[in-house]
Structure 1
Amino acid sequence: MAQFFKPNGKGRKKSPPSYVLTGTADALDHQGRGVVRISKQGKSRVYFVPQLLPGETAQFKVTGQQNIELLARQSTAAERRQAPCPYYDDCGGCDLQHINETHQRRHKQQVVTELFAKMAGMKKELPWHDTLIADDWQYRRKARLAIYQRATKQPWRLGFRAHASKHIVDIPQCAVLDSELNRLITDFRKMLDSAQLGPKIGHVELIKAPAAQLCLRITQPLSSEQTQQLEAFSTTSECAVWLDNGQQLKALSQNAICFDETIDGDRLVFMPGDFIQVNARVNQQMVKQAVNWLAPQADDEILDLFAGIGNFTLPLARRAKSVTAVEGVSAMTKQLAANATTANLSNVYAHTFDLGTNEVSRLLEKGYQRILLDPARAGAEAVCQCIAKLQSDKQPEQIVYVSCSPDTLARDSRWLLDNGYEIAHISLVDMFVQTHHIETMVSFKKVV
């Protein structure tokens, strides 16, 4: 009888150990998870349990060092509500639907307050303004859906990733997505099988700008028949279709164009893949508040850093002598310059360079009166360090910092607060309702 080699187990990837615990949450962490403290044999350990509220006792499963899954609640807090979305328990797109919007915003403001106390040394009360809010549901004008189908005759899934997983939760409709984009999802799902597109698509991007846009990340070449089916779909579903093969972006629809004209009357054209704020109505309020807080004067030279396609640049340029706009992505800088030209603004000077380099220091030495910062999650520490080191007469009078990450905002703020600035205004911008993500605006004023 033939004998086959059987490995002894060495080199195999072992499954991480798991165990089940029961505990009561006494707070929420900065990501909206319940904080459970359990003492055993004189040692205390903290666990962060998703979808658990302070005062609630629950059984939860711990796998490895990081992955914690809520198994069953044994009590219910007064703040809890039934999540309106039927996919909420599985989908990783939202994580605060079990809390009503008032408590969501209260929690987010508390997070920012705590981080400023801890990381920026703020001992006095922050000068909070009202939170900028709009719709609590169907507010997203842009979303990326994952798709998976191994082969054309096998089932497919189209939706968002599950909590702490690569698994795709199949979602026919999304409660926070714009109604027109939900309609587009329905239409697209119907044609997936007939066109046999599933195995050739990496992800699907939906954009309302202002018409519906569908951008497909193509991982394998499409047949001529599939291309024709997509062109026909573009017509019947009244949407623009784009194809992205990782190297080139191509529009299948005639006159395909993405733009936003809700801000200050100017048209901001962009391409699929460019950054835009997902909540149009809140963004409109945010831009207006930034302009009010920065208070540009007719003879001001303003510096707009992390400028993108000109979300803040163009409104500021209409009110100031000039705006120097710096963006790290060259394609977006070119689009910003084109948008300024379309708006007949000749006082916008667009540049591309890494905002973490010495070029920032040289630029700041010119002595701008007002600066706007709108960085990604990594923040703008290098910029704030450079401002802190400027001679007093070169430091700007006003700085408005728009942040999508409160921890890096608090970290960066300390450089300003310790070097001649005070906080004049601060407000939450509820850009991402039903999620733990926090957008904040802060206005810094130079102390005379």
Structure 2
Amino acid sequence: MSKPQPPVQKNQTIEVTFEDLTHEGNGVGKVDGYPLFVPYALPGETGQVKVIKVKKNFGFGKLLDVEEESQERVEPPCNVYVQCGGCQLQHMSYSLQLDMKQKQVKDAMHKIGHLSDVPVHPVIGMDDPWRYRNKIQIPVGEKDDGGLKAGFYRKRSHEIIDMDTCIIQDEHNDRMVEAVRRIAEQYGIEAYKEEHHSGVLRHIMVRTGQHTGDIMVVLVTKTKKLPHQDAIVNEIRETFPNVKSIVHNVNSKKTNVILGEQTNVIWGDKYIVDQIGDIKFNISPKSFYQVNPTQTKRLYDQALEYADLKGHETVVDAYCGIGTISLFLAQKAKRVLGVEVVAPAVDDAKKNAKLNDIENAEFYVGEAESLLPWWQAQGLQPDVIVVDPPRKGCDESLLKAMIEMKPEKIVYVSCNPSTLARDLRILEDGGFETQEVQPVDMFPQTGHIECVSQIVLKEEAGSQ
């Protein structure tokens, strides 16, 4: 018996009515029950679509024309939005973006975690969802006329889209990148050529302290020396007197990783300082520091609310990074123990504790899944455990260790609803109960969403 063929063919042009969105923000339309995923299409719209890929159970299309427009469609304010791979959602209203992200979290809770009864609150959005990023790292290439261009990559490629502004970046970052590109061009600095692994300047990175106004510029080169270094430093300082740090990073490897191992401060300070709430942070070129401090404050406030600290608690912060959440927790807890596998981040965390005169936070290098069971064997019994893992979620052995430690509360900060839902299911099966989930929009105009979950130990599990 022959298998049924998809009702569409590659390169066919058809009219499609859209009824939903994928988690990436692509429109979903169905042809005789067969789903077509189409970028830039919105629910409620009808449009002409060219079929570009046909798979057994679904296909992909390109939107040629919109015949009936959704009221949620807006004109993208960025003039390279369609070419650039940085943002995915500028064509939809901000309210629709927030609704889409809440639905993404709800779907993950239902389909992956089987936790349909857990409340997923409306997303905490931004009053102004533009110009929020405090860090830009942008590749440098060569123009056809031999000058330098700087811009993000075209979608699914390594072709640089030349741009003079990015409207989700802090304006200082924008102006700094353009100035550094112009100065490097003026001194004849050659762009790195990926295909030949030749040339000099690979990336320009700028970090801005949004609270303090401090600026750090990082020039990433393939070469060990930055040609005309002193002249370039002087030009940058004259152009932007509030620059606090100019750094040269050497990355001589064939790699997509942006920063290399060798970092030299060629002028100014090793760190810039920023502040979230009452806590100050030293930020180095390689520090992991949230790119949206406005929403980070809201995220951490939510984590603190869910931890509900009274002042007598011992708290473990797994995946503590440079101590951002740990130091917030330390303001309300008796003792905080932070764990992080990246040794330089732990050094930064200790310096940040000192910077804020916080003496009840300790930081340890290691894997949380190894340290927690060892601490338990030594008799440590945390009242609250906070986790903020990478996109892959918590290691299975860490989840097991948390289940065995039986803290009264777990606060789970997540950047991936799918792995969050998976891990919540494991914790539920281990004697915990998920009370609620609060999404926070840290990355407007993109498909990413962060969440904070409040998890409590079931009474019967605590008494076993």
Partner residue, 1:307: 320
From 428, 435, 448, the equivalent of 1:437 is 448
User: How big is the shift at 1:413?
Assistant: 0.8
Give the drift of 1:106: 0.7
| Paired position in structure 2 for 1:9 | none
Instruction: Return the TM-score normalized by structure 2.
Output: 0.84
Aligned residues of 1:388 and 1:415 also touching (Cα < 8 A): no
Aligned residue in 1 for 2:374: 362
Give the corresponding residue for 1:12: none
Give 1:376's aligned residue: 390
1:384–1:107 distance in 2 versus 1, CA, 3 Å: farther
Structure 2 counterpart of 1:436, which letter?
Answer: G
Residue pairs, 1:47-66, within 5 angstroms: 47-56=36-45, 57-62=47-52
Q: 232, 244, 248: which is aligned to 1:243? A: 248
RMSD: 2.4
Hey, what's the Cα distance between the residues in 2 that align with 1:184 and 1:190?
Answer: 10
Partner AA of 2:387 in structure 1: L
Give, in angstroms, the shift of residue 333 of structure 1.
0.8
Query: After superposition, what is the alpha-carbon deviation per residue over 1:125-172, rounded to whole angstroms, capped at 9, x for unaligned?
Result: 515266153431111111211211289x62432111122222211110
TM-score (ref. length: structure 1): 0.87
State the distance in 2 between where 1:73 and 1:191 align: 43
Distance in 1 separating the partners of 2:237 and 2:266: 8
Which stretch shifts more, 227-236 or 205-214?
Answer: 227-236
What are the within-5 Å matches in structure 2 for residues 313-324 of structure 1?
313-324=326-337
Task: Give yes or no for contact 2:189–2:227 (8 Å, CA) kept in 1.
Answer: no
After TM superposition, the structure 1 = structure 2 runs for residues 41-120 of structure 1, keeping only pairs within 5 Å, are 45-56=34-45, 57-62=47-52, 69-120=62-113
C-alpha deviation, 1:268, in angstroms: 1.1
CA contact (8 A) 1:384 1:413 kept: no
Q: Does 1:138 align with 2:131?
A: yes
Aligned to 2:236: 233
Query: Secondary structure of 2:268's match?
Result: coil
Cα pair 2:131 2:171 within 8 Å, conserved: yes
Task: Check conservation: 2:37, 2:60, Cα contact below 8 A.
Answer: no
Equivalence for 1:32: 25
CA distance in 1, matches of 2:349, 2:157: 37
Contact 1:112 1:406 in 2 (8 A): yes
For 1:223 and 1:385, the matched residues in 2 are separated by: 46
Assess if the C-alpha contact under 8 Å between 1:377 and 1:403 holds in 2. Answer: yes
Counterpart Cα distance in 2 of 1:147 and 1:270: 24
Greater alpha carbon shift after TM alignment, 297-306 vs 252-261: 252-261
The AA in structure 2 aligned to 1:55 is G
Change (3 A) 1:47 1:387: farther
Q: Structure 1 residues 27, 132: CA separation in 2 closer, same or farther (over 3 Å shift)? A: closer
Q: Which residue of 2 aligns with 1:216?
A: 219
When residues 167 and 282 of structure 1 are mapped into structure 2, their CA distance, relative to the original with a 3 A threshold, is same
Classify the secondary structure of the residue corresponding to 1:167: coil
User: What are the ranges of 5 or more consecutive residues in structure 1 without an aligned counterpart?
Assistant: 1-16
Question: AA paired with 1:267?
Answer: K
Mapped partners of 1:223, 1:207: distance in 2: 20
Aligned to 2:4: none
- Percentage identity across aligned positions? 26
The 2-side partners of 1:157 and 1:224 are apart by 18
In 2, the alpha carbon distance for the partners of 1:351 and 1:341 equals 15
Which residue identity does 2:330 align to in structure 1?
Answer: A
Corresponding residue SS for 2:391: coil
